[in-house]
Chains A and B, each alone.
Chain A
């Protein structure tokens, strides 16, 4: 073994001293000794979604029942769905949905209060397509849980005392709807209508909604022939169906629908039937609009941006292709907005896209991000350019394969649990989502040309509505080159003096 020279020793000693005295010293070398070039492994071909068999039955009263056996979990997930209790501008259906869970009566008339499953509340949600009530339980608790669900849906008590916290919570929810106000108002502006959502009015009339009004609304919204029950559970199908029948078969349909019930065939999940709230049709009173529109809500805070575009109805034949498009636009394309704004420009840490249905108006795509005022105009221009690229340039094969795989994986993740599967099947019933088989069929056949066609139909940067919220005083001049701004966005002396 040779000994290092004196010079080398001094250098090594100096280095050792430096690394031990320096507070952020690192051990050198930083690079590992492994040699060779590594490349990403190939990706195996995408596997199809595993779609479980779904049995379908219709009770004599018209109620649809869909059942999936899911052995080995010990759990049952169920979702009740009705398409008649839809979110509208007056919020009544939402309030009724919450009120159902306040108190109910069993079939023998006894009061069921509080309404809880294993101590927890069922999960009720109301949207533009309808209302769902979701429950999970252990398989052995199915009878009592179904009894509770049946009581809530069929025999709500609307007890005045039990409704006190519901009214309070609703008022709080309405106050918290500021974000939804903003989204809806942008969407309406995009559609050429003025702001006309009266959520404040509903908050005002809450105290006057007495039992008579609530019962009338309940009769309108909840009827077996307009309902479905999805059950996914670790029990034999026959046992699940028998349990459902024991609680729901005696539910009387509405008088006027009674004669029609028996002759109605089961609704096909993939039928492209349109519901009023899901269609993109514009109200006749809407004024036609051309050109871009700019809506600015000035407030304190970091600027956030929303770009609004048309979107197909959630049950449209174009829905799957549009979903792929929005992912390509934002995250999964080689030149996606996320790639550009986050990595190339380092202007935005997040870019997102989602579709939103405004009751009675249509469905819209929101592309949103948050960027500094100094760069907001150039970043919005980039987003508009990205929309135009999707319209005019074909999608390459690797991007198409990637976005299909991502969409399929996202859906598969939802279907991995009983709760996820039950909720998804409820969305299919409410025509919020295509049937799983239809999605798979479309994913097999959709090509780049299809995406370009759908992009040309729905995405139009020249008709975008650009919503900006936050402190953008320094960028107003630049922003106004992007579109025609709303008169109400012009600064007023009162606004300038009383800045929040």
Chain B
């Protein structure tokens, strides 16, 4: 079981432009896929996949770390944990057994923007899992107890302790977040030590009531069923759940973006930071904020992402051999999108030189020929492979914005993208200098494991 909290979600770019919602059953936007919004606001996506007799569900509530009061870090994560303990109709600690005895694997995670609950299992168990998700949405709130809060706070401390054991990962992302988001911003890192101990039952009730509600949620079901035949069950289980009269305080997104734009807090002329940490490889991270006006054409941006990865691989790995791995990501956070280029360097390389080389190559993207066909083929194949895998498809659909993801439209957008449009996107999105550049230098020569080995051989 894994409950993890991830700031700056690093998933592949997903989603489509915001579209008008519809209360009625929409025509299939993708093969075997039905999307609709129930009368209580719950977004529902049912997508058929008949390769194997299994299902996959994801229920995402648009409440997460960013909604926590400043002194209650981890409250959203705590509520996620609490939602597995009991409900009006599920006894203390029976939740996981009800799922596991049906052959279902469940998991959940909380990030800044949302909290997601996922399940996979044999198709015969789908009604049971949908019933459990109904329990979570409608009947957990009233059953929360102070004792459960104490227990789950302890579990969060255990979880955080194991994550803190990987000091590099945790500290690294805290540093990045602090550079991108000033204090007061919902994505800014907060004091963690002891924060969870301040969260009590009333806090959990407050956040759950405002966040875990139908009009703040999206349910995706992928599997070996008939969407038309499943829909009545969905309406029966979830359509009757009402929304409370209170809601989460609205975020002033305009003000927050202005606040974020004032960061990074390092010198404006050279917004870079250096970390000396016990890692096994050095690296460079480059990040660009995406202006609001450019937050569209997501599937064209996926082609840009692939093209960028291709040219950097070609130059820095195959050509100059200064790097071993390069990853490019587009993080579609609610409060601002971010491009992230991660370059893992070979030993002995100078991060400043690697950064200069990478930026020079990126600057050339907007002017020179791009590997257009390769990037398009690659992006298309990845999208088709994602669609083919039920679990990957579930994540794709739950991350989509608005009430519809259209596979054919996404493929068509990529197919119709011209080289000039791609260069224009590169010019607009990846202007020099980047918003933030981070250099990571190795501080030790060997991982502790080598030390263990030598110690064990001593008489």
Residues of A within 8 A of B (CB): 23-27, 29-32, 34, 37-50, 73-75, 113-114, 116, 118-120, 136-138, 141, 161, 164-165, 168-169, 171-172, 175-182, 185, 195, 197, 200, 297, 299, 301-302, 304, 331-332, 334, 336, 338-339, 342-344, 346-351, 370-372, 398-399, 401-410, 412-413, 415-420, 470, 486-488, 495, 500
Contacts and interface: CB of A to CB of B under 8 A. Distances in A.
B449 interface: yes
Nearest to A25: B206
Contacts of B30: none
B52 A49 contact: yes
Contacts of A24: 202-203, 205-206
B212 to A, nearest CB: 12
Contacts of A172: 280-281, 324, 346-347
23 contacts: A39-B89, A43-B128, A75-B388, A136-B381, A175-B280, A176-B447, A200-B450, A302-B158, A331-B100, A332-B101, A338-B96, A343-B85, A343-B93, A370-B161, A407-B103, A409-B54, A409-B120, A409-B122, A412-B54, A418-B385, A420-B389, A488-B457, A500-B451
Nearest to B81: A349
A464 B254 CA distance: 59
Contacts of A347: 158
A45 B124 contact: yes
A50 B52 CA distance: 6
Contacts of B100: 331-332, 336, 402, 406
B400 interface: no
Interface in B245-273: 245-246
Given A27-B245, A415-B52, A338 B93 contact: no
Contacts of B206: 24-26
A376 to B, nearest CB: 12
A218 B49 CA distance: 42
B235 interface: no
A405 B54 contact: no
B75 to A, nearest CB: 10
Contacts of B104: 406, 409
B321 interface: yes
B232 interface: no
A416 B51 contact: yes
Interface string B340-378: 000000110000000000000000000000010011011
A342 B328 CA distance: 37
A175 B390 contact: no
A318 to B, nearest CB: 21
Describe B's contact surface by its main secondary structure.
helix
Contacts of B380: 138
A62 B289 CA distance: 55
Most buried by A among B52, B132, B457: B52
Given A301-B165, A416-B54, A416-B388, 10 more contacts: A24-B203, A47-B124, A181-B449, A297-B452, A302-B158, A347-B158, A409-B104, A409-B120, A415-B51, A417-B389
Interface string B437-459: 00000000011111111011111
Nearest to B306: A119
A10 to B, nearest CB: 22
Contacts of B151: 346
B374 A470 contact: no
Given A40-B131, A185-B453, A331-B100, A118 B378 contact: yes
B17 interface: no
A416 B101 contact: no
Contacts of A30: 141-142, 205, 209
Contacts of A50: 51-53
